[in-house]
Amino acid sequence: MRKMLLVMAAMLVMPAVRAQDASVPVDGVSFAFEPRPEAQRPPYVLSVSTKGFGRYVESAMTPGAPMAAPVVMQVSAPTLAMIDEAREAVEHAGSHGTCETKHKGIAKTGQKSLTFYKAGQSVTCTFEYSDDERVNRSAALFQAMVETLQFGDRLDHAHRFDRLGLDAEVDALIAENKAGRAIELQNIRRTLQALVDDERVMERVRVKAGALLQATGVESAVPASAR
């Protein structure tokens, strides 16, 4: 599974160029995560170019099942800069390719891989927890972006099937965003806008969704009827 995730990461950062150039990856970084089996969550890869264009792909949890379609993302320059702080540590990992802590007794949460690409070359390190906080911080940023996408999925589901449950989900998203555990909200902009525009949704949910939208730079996100 780990090898498959790394192959997926390399494929996701390939540029849309002529066929003879297709083996040359763009500059960027990818994060692959393989949760422990008891987590019941799919492995995934999130790859981002230095231009801020990203793609997120979940692997199938059941062997032989089709993979989900990639989700196209945008990542802000400040987040990219913080992720890039781990580049030196990953390069320092060298040929052994691991950033794993030397301490014992650290909780096991799942195998992670950070891969940085530059000028057709790449360097990777794998870890569950690193002694270098730059590596842990970069991994946490990727996981926070994925958390936002998962919130988007839950909001879409609640919007369709459980509108009464939307209030709790939006409150949870606000709390996680404030804590830095759900970031880059522009990637669920359509979901938030759909809540704002739907007059069947509770007014307080529409107002809170509008405030989140405005935080992403969308103006006049809340219609007059919901103010």
Domains of the chain from N-terminus onward: 2-132 (3.30.1560)
Identify the band that residue 22 occupies on the pLDDT scale cut at 50, 70 and 90.
Answer: very low
CA dist 19 and 1 (Å) reads 28
CA dist 155 and 134 (Å) reads 32
User: Residue 105: which residues within 8 A CB-CB, separation 6 or more?
Assistant: none
Interval 132-164: pLDDT, tens:
999 999 999 999 999 999 999 999 999 999 999
Q: Is the pLDDT of residue 29 over 80?
A: yes
* Better-predicted residue by pLDDT, 67 or 168: 168
Mean pLDDT of the chain: 85
> What's the confidence (pLDDT) of residue 221?
52
152 φψ region: left (φ > 0), alpha (ψ -120 to 50), beta (else): alpha
> What's the confidence (pLDDT) of residue 23?
34
- pTM for this predicted structure: 0.85
Sheet holding 44-49, edge to edge: 71-74, 53-58, 44-49, 28-35, 110-118, 121-127
